Amino acid sequence: MTTIAVAGGTGLAGRAVVAEAVAAGHTVRSISRHLPDAAHRVAGAEYVRADFCTGVGLAPALAGVDALIETMDARSGRGLRALPVMSVAALGAAARAGVGRCVLLTIVRAGECSMGYYQAQAARALSYEKSALPTSVVYATQFHNLVAGVFSAGAKVGLIPTFNGVSFQTISTADVASVLLAEALREGRGKASVVAGGPDVQGMRELAETWKAATGSKAMVVALPLPGSFGSFLRAGKNLVPDEAVGNETFSDWLGRR
Ligand SMILES: NC(=O)c1ccc[n+]([C@@H]2O[C@H](COP(=O)([O-])OP(=O)(O)OC[C@H]3O[C@@H](n4cnc5c(N)ncnc54)[C@H](OP(=O)(O)O)[C@@H]3O)[C@@H](O)[C@H]2O)c1
């Protein structure tokens, strides 16, 4: 049995990792700034409070940990500016605590998009790659939740947005969690870099029609332009890794399960 800490264990991806690691019989500690209520905890996991931005609580949170999986996130403002620093802090605290392996979840080809959020993701991956610790960086494609979230937000005002010329290879957080856990358990002190793509490449319109049918939404599927660096990134297919389709759960299966 291994003691695994999940930095960001209360988040979308982190919760899936905590659940997967508990189910596999490991001792699991979720670390975040806020503690979830009982209804949002995975039974059998320990929940501790620590802040990778300020450093408060990190030493006790990482004491006795064999492997750290980092699934923290921040999308804007000060949090986003601090995100690369949080990864550096995680690696530093892990080194001091004698953690055997650190695993980072980030996004496929983030460094090839000039958008601030993607640049922050690329910076954290670089910190892991350059760290003297044994590390694994898992580069995942967009989650099913992300695309479904775009559809559901638009449907509230009657329109399900799709972007011209854009496809996704969405993956479930459960499939990502399996990859992250396997990396946490990787033997040896070497570095690893893993790409995790969803099972299918699908046009955004096809995904929207699937979402509409599954949810019974009456909103209209509309095609919109997506300007800017993120639009260029997506239209160039840089979010796709068809040769690394490791995920099992399709968008349609995932919608059905929900
Ligand atoms: N969304 C996608 O499609 C996608 C695709 C591929 C990869 N990813 C990767 O997945 C990662 C996780 O995304 P997510 O959607 O699961 O994130 P999320 O749901 O927003 O969760 C973020 C987690 O980080 C914790 N956190 C934030 N700041 C913290 C701090 N200073 N100290 C301690 N914990 C902190 C949050 O808890 P508190 O706020 O309570 O601290 C929460 O548990 C992203 O960084 C990204 O690299 C995402």
Note the pLDDT tens digit of each residue in 146-174: 999 999 999 999 999 999 999 999 999 99
One-letter amino acid for residue 183 of the chain: E
* Closest protein CA for atom 9 of ligand 1: 106
Q: What is the model's pLDDT at position 67?
A: 98
Which single residue is written with the structure tokens 């806020």? 34
Who has greater pLDDT, 154 or 1?
154
Q: What is the model's pLDDT at position 246?
A: 97
Where in the chain are the domains? 3-142+173-196
Q: Which atom of ligand 1 is nearest to the CA of 79?
A: 28
* Closest protein CA for atom 37 of ligand 1: 32
CATH of domain 3-142+173-196: 3.40.50.720
Q: What is the model's pLDDT at position 1?
A: 77
Which residues form the pocket of ligand 1, taking CB atoms under 6 Å from any ligand atom? 7-8, 10-14, 32-34, 51-53, 71-74, 86, 105-107, 121, 140, 142-143, 146
User: How far does the centroid of ligand 1 lie from the alpha carbon of residue 125, in Å?
Assistant: 14
Pocket test for ligand 1, best of 71, 172, 241, 251 (most atoms within 8 A of CB): 71
Confidence of residue 258 (pLDDT cuts 50, 70, 90): confident
Q: What is the model's pLDDT at position 73?
A: 97
pLDDT at 124 over 90: yes
**Tens digit of each residue's pLDDT (9 = 90 or more) over 33-77:** 999 999 999 999 999 999 999 999 999 999 999 999 999 999 999
Percent of the chain with pLDDT over 70: 100
**Tens digit of each residue's pLDDT (9 = 90 or more) over 171-216:** 999 999 999 999 999 999 999 999 999 999 999 999 999 999 999 9
- Average predicted confidence (pLDDT) for the chain: 97
* Closest protein CA for atom 36 of ligand 1: 8
